[in-house]
Structure 1
Amino acid sequence: MVQLLGNIPGSPARVDGRPVGLERVGLTIFSTDRDAVQSCTAKDASGNEIALEVPSRHEQWDDAGDLYYVVAHSVERVPAQTVQVVCTDQNTSYFVGQRQSADMFVGPLVRTLGSFFGPAAIGVVLIVIDQVRRRRRAVR
């Protein structure tokens, strides 16, 4: 359960010209404006351009009452590192953070459920085997 909760991404950092440290794989650019256009570029720690794409569907992230709309995702899996994001639209507030996706929750969720249901299933099988053996002994 702790692993599952540990995968919840933190609040995105405001794009203000300073480098932003990514703690996990992936990069997402957010805005607080629902109709914001993608006017940002991103560079990795080596200064190489990070390819960005506009999401194919509407995505948003709710972080403790603050609503962020996804403007762009990294095309490739960007490793955890420090990135530099620059946006040309000065009338909109942009934020950068981890890429939120379902697969970041699937692994820990399966492990959490497995750690509970695995031993429970083994216990049920052992009880059934014990009951079957007792009935066979009683019949003789």
Structure 2
Amino acid sequence: MTTYPGMPAAPKKSVLPTIAIACLVIGVLVTGFFVYRIVVTVPGTPQPIEAGMVHLEKEGLTIYASVPVLTPACEAQDASGNDVPLKGPTGSETITINDDTWYVVARSTQPVPAGDYSISCTDDETSATYAAGPKSSVVAFVLSILGAVFSFLIFVGLGATLLTVGAVRKRRGNRPTNTFPGPPGAPSNYSQQPPTTPQQSNTFPAPPPYNPGPNPDRPQDR
């Protein structure tokens, strides 16, 4: 591109829009990952074990009680008749699904594959209903929700902010400026004044000195 004296240089292309688009893409990807984790970790309704056999569609095994109970004697076996080692919860864990609260009483020590399992619990002190479901973690579910919310706010908010800043800078850069060079020592944006018409002088040249001619009436002029 040919430039002439007094013309402004071509503005440099800003990198803010590129960074903003990258933030938006990353935000969508990270948020999508946490949404997937929400779907995976959402607790499902446990299945009653009165029939003795339950089918798990996800890995892991967790046994629940409908009321708070002491750790009951529960046993679990897979479809091949192998015992599944169980352990009690480290603290009080509950899930609420469809207004029904279930209390965790045991879970498998290792994640077991999905399939059919035979489960039985012995409880002579309460009339609690026992049920089983895949391994679930309320902490993982809550963290997935928080991760989705904060990743959306951080990355999408940052991308929107950078786009706004880039648009404002571009608008300011497109404003016209006075680029005509001025005389040396004069400011570049001075205003030219229209030429003034010189005033005409009303004075006339002085008359020559008076010199009277010869007068016949005067004796010296005869």
CA distance in 1 between counterparts of 2:175 and 2:81 reads 77
In structure 1, the partner of 2:133 is: 97
In structure 1, the partner of 2:63 is: 29
In structure 2, the partner of 1:129 is: 166
User: Are residues 82 and 59 of structure 1, via their aligned partners in 2, closer, same or farther at CA, if it must alter by over 3 Å?
Assistant: same
Structure 2: runs of 5 or more not aligned:
1-31, 178-222
Cα drift, residue 5 of structure 1: 5.4
- Residue 48 of structure 2 corresponds to residue 45 of structure 1: no
State the TM-score, normalizing by the size of structure 2.
0.51
Pair member with larger Rg: 2
CA contact (8 A) 2:41 2:140 kept: no
State the TM-score, normalizing by the size of structure 1.
0.75
Could you say which structure has the higher strand fraction?
Answer: 1
In structure 2, the partner of 1:56 is: 90
Give the root-mean-square deviation of aligned CA atoms.
3.1
Cα drift, residue 137 of structure 1: 4.6
Percent identity over the alignment is 29
CA contact (8 A) 1:36 1:92 kept: no
- Residue 110 of structure 2 corresponds to residue 76 of structure 1: yes
Cα drift, residue 118 of structure 1: 4.2
SS in structure 2 opposite 1:69?
strand
CA contact (8 A) 2:72 2:122 kept: no
User: Are residues 115 and 23 of structure 1, via their aligned partners in 2, closer, same or farther at CA, if it must alter by over 3 Å?
Assistant: farther
